[in-house]
Amino acid sequence: MTTTSARTIPQGRIETITSEEELRLKELWAYILNFWGRPAKIPTSSEGKKLLRASCTLGNEYEDATIDSAASGAAAATADATSSTTAKEKKSGGKFSKFKLGKKKTKETSATATASPAVSQNGTFGHKRVGSLSESIKQIPSKVEIEGRYTDEMVHGALKDLKPDEMYENFWSFLRLDSPDNLVLRFLRARKWDVDKSLAMISNTLHWRIKDSQIDRHLREGELKLWEEYINSDKTNNAGVFKNYELNKSYIRGFDKQGRPIVVVRPRLHHSSDQTIEEMQLYTLMVIETARLFLKEPVDSASILFDMSDFSLSNMDYSPVKFMISAFEAHYPESLGVLLIHKAPWVFSGIWNIIKNWLDPVVASKVNFTKNTSDLEKFIEAENLPASLGGKDDFEPTYIEPKEGENDLVINDSPEKTQLIKEREEIIENFIVTTLKWIEADDSAESAGFLEQRIKIGKQLNDNYIKLDPYIRGRSNFDRLGLINFC
């Protein structure tokens, strides 16, 4: 375990995990790495028993494996949470409909043909020939060698709906400013350190990101792509998305007393007729993903302030509320700090009786009703409170239209971009190699040494992302307003 002080870092993070939690984390990483074709011995508990059993064999077509009950449950929960929106989504054109990736799994015929995941020039992470990376990658065994050395317990059944290259690519894209460990630990904490359920949850989330929401594509294209479609369609396509942006229905500004970024939501500006369900979902995900860019270690959650001033029943729309709850619980676990519902009128009491039944008890415990400025100042300093709520921050959000050429760094190749991508490939490979050593370390001192190395490598990934961000993420209004500051 690390010696980093736990006074400023919450429990359950990589710097503060207990020995048992570290064992669970090692086990989860071992399953992930084996799925990526980087064989690792599955750790055992202190009693010498496996913490779980997997259900599919390494080298099988993953589509033929049987998913475990936890994965099925996670998928069913997500389907149930969004089932009420299906009809309207189909009617509105299916921007969140499933799609098939062009790359198909192929069988390698020799060890020299083995491929290793790497970053592609467009900022995503795919497969690249091993000879182009560091010397350590050349030691990757062939598929046949892996099958000979490892048993059918090495690949977890919860991963069956993903292909290794898809999972690899999306995992490192999903990372953003999180360290790899702390991203994985979000899922472990959310599932009470149950490795089976955590893997099912991660698998479900990556499947959702790849097949359903396609959120990484939207982030790469930024608002400019949506804006061009909007203008070229005589302001018909994506009209609801830009209605939300232009109203500044929500914005990210300031930090609470725990250093968590504050997302201010103003329900009085919402009317269900202004957008389709699909457009509201896309807008919601863009705000959530942007809020993640405001997180700075060790802070790994944001706080939401619902300003219910002038709210009436005409503003109520259950669909986006249910979608947001589902998204946080299923795909962005442990990302909510506190949720403040400010100045809720009496008509909201009946609405709340419905909504609270949808909430996980952990999420429900983070909800606080506030009535005045003094109540808000228990959570947020006056300097970070909007002046409209009695605070000292005079900031008023405005919407600045996207400009042609603002995503040129993303679209075009450059020596700087190429170098940063290469650097990221090497850091990722170093993290994987060190993780393999950490998982199979023979004693606690050796394990602790590798753990410290991994924490440092995680920080290197964070620093690299900050430099790489302009080359892989399209600009948003938060960038144009100058609100995103990685310093």
Cβ-based neighbour number of residue 99 at 10 Å: 12
Instruction: Give me the pLDDT at residue 9, please.
Output: 82
Residues 420 and 300 in one domain: no
pLDDT at 168 over 90: yes
Question: Is residue 8 domain-resident?
Answer: no
Residue 148 dihedral angles phi and psi, to the nearest 5°? -75, -25
Which tokens go with 480? Answer: 């144009």
Angle formed by the axes of helices 318-331 and 277-292, nearest 10°: 40
Last residue of a domain, one of 322, 356, 389: 389
Residues 36 and 128 in one domain: yes
CA–CA separation, 295 vs 482, rounded Å? Answer: 16
Whole-number mean pLDDT of the chain?
A: 80
Instruction: Give me the pLDDT at residue 331, please.
Output: 94
pLDDT at 65 over 80: no
Instruction: Give me the pLDDT at residue 162, please.
Output: 80
Condensed to tens digits (0 to 9), the pLDDT of residues 223-257 reads 999 999 999 999 999 999 999 999 999 999 999 99
What is the domain count for the chain?
2
Alpha-helix runs per DSSP H in 373-414: 373-376, 408-411
Angle formed by the axes of helices 318-331 and 69-82, nearest 10°: 160
Q: Closest Cα partner for 429 from 464, 471, 473?
A: 464
Instruction: Give me the pLDDT at residue 345, please.
Output: 95
The answer to whether 156 touches 199, Cβ cutoff 8 Å, is yes
CA–CA separation, 342 vs 368, rounded Å? Answer: 8
pLDDT at 136 over 60: no
pLDDT band for position 186 (50/70/90)? very high
Last residue of a domain, one of 389, 421, 450: 389
Instruction: Give me the pLDDT at residue 96, please.
Output: 31
pLDDT band for position 297 (50/70/90)? confident
> Is the Cα torsion angle 423, 427, 432, 434 positive or negative in sign?
positive
Instruction: Give me the pLDDT at residue 485, please.
Output: 84
Condensed to tens digits (0 to 9), the pLDDT of residues 386-400 reads 999 999 999 999 999
Residues 37 and 186 in one domain: yes
Biggest CA pair distance of the chain: 70
Mean pLDDT of all residues in 323-351: 93
CA–CA separation, 7 vs 95, rounded Å? Answer: 45
pLDDT at 94 over 70: no
Question: Is residue 226 domain-resident?
Answer: no
Residues 166 and 57 in one domain: yes
Which tokens go with 72? Answer: 């099925």
pLDDT at 64 over 70: no
What CATH number is attached to the domain comprising 374? 3.40.525.10
More confident residue, 255 or 297: 255
Instruction: Give me the pLDDT at residue 430, please.
Output: 97
- How big is the CA angle at 135 (ends 449 and 41), to the nearest 5 degrees? 50
CA–CA separation, 137 vs 125, rounded Å? Answer: 16
The answer to whether 243 touches 235, Cβ cutoff 8 Å, is no
Instruction: Give me the pLDDT at residue 100, please.
Output: 30
Q: Which of 39-48, 170-179, 270-279 has the lowest mean pLDDT?
A: 39-48
pLDDT at 63 over 50: no
Question: Is residue 374 domain-resident?
Answer: yes
Please report where in the chains the tokens 């608002």 appear, as a residue: 223
Residue 134 dihedral angles phi and psi, to the nearest 5°? -65, 165
Residues 241 and 208 in one domain: no
Question: Is residue 418 domain-resident?
Answer: yes
Instruction: Give me the pLDDT at residue 155, please.
Output: 60
Residues 186 and 52 in one domain: yes
Mean pLDDT of all residues in 440-463: 94
Residues 82 and 125 in one domain: yes
Q: Is 154 exposed, middle or buried (0-12, 13-18, 19+ CB in 10 A)?
A: buried
pLDDT band for position 137 (50/70/90)? very low
pLDDT at 371 over 80: yes
Question: Is residue 223 domain-resident?
Answer: no
Distances (CA, A) of 232 to 228, 229, 274: 6, 5, 20
Residues 157 and 283 in one domain: no
Side-chain half-sphere CA neighbours of 139 within 13 A: 7
390: left (phi over 0), alpha (psi -120 to 50) or beta: left
Angle formed by the axes of helices 195-207 and 69-82, nearest 10°: 40
Residues 97 and 205 in one domain: yes
Which tokens go with 350? Answer: 């009946």
pLDDT at 363 over 60: yes
Residues 467 and 423 in one domain: yes
Which tokens go with 159? Answer: 């991963």
Which tokens go with 202? Answer: 């991660």
pLDDT band for position 91 (50/70/90)? very low
pLDDT band for position 486 (50/70/90)? confident
Alpha-carbon torsion, ordered 48, 53, 57, 58, to 10 deg = -60
The two beta strands, 261-265 and 250-255, are antiparallel
Instruction: Report helix, strand or coil for 171.
Output: helix
Residues 172 and 118 in one domain: yes
Question: Is residue 178 domain-resident?
Answer: yes
* Bridge partners (DSSP) listed for residue 18: none
Residues 242 and 107 in one domain: no
pLDDT at 415 over 90: yes
- The helix or strand, by DSSP H or E, that contains position 86, with its residue range, turns out to be helix 86-92
> Is the Cα torsion angle 82, 83, 84, 89 positive or negative in sign?
positive
Mean pLDDT of all residues in 332-347: 94
Last residue of a domain, one of 389, 422, 449: 389
Instruction: Give me the pLDDT at residue 154, please.
Output: 57
Question: Is residue 335 domain-resident?
Answer: yes
Mean pLDDT of all residues in 332-353: 94
Residue 111 dihedral angles phi and psi, to the nearest 5°? -65, -30
Question: Is residue 57 domain-resident?
Answer: yes
Q: Which of 164-168, 219-223, 295-299, 392-396 has the lowest mean pLDDT?
A: 295-299
Instruction: Give me the pLDDT at residue 44, please.
Output: 66
Instruction: Give me the pLDDT at residue 5, please.
Output: 36
Structural domain containing residue 305? 233-389
pLDDT band for position 54 (50/70/90)? very low
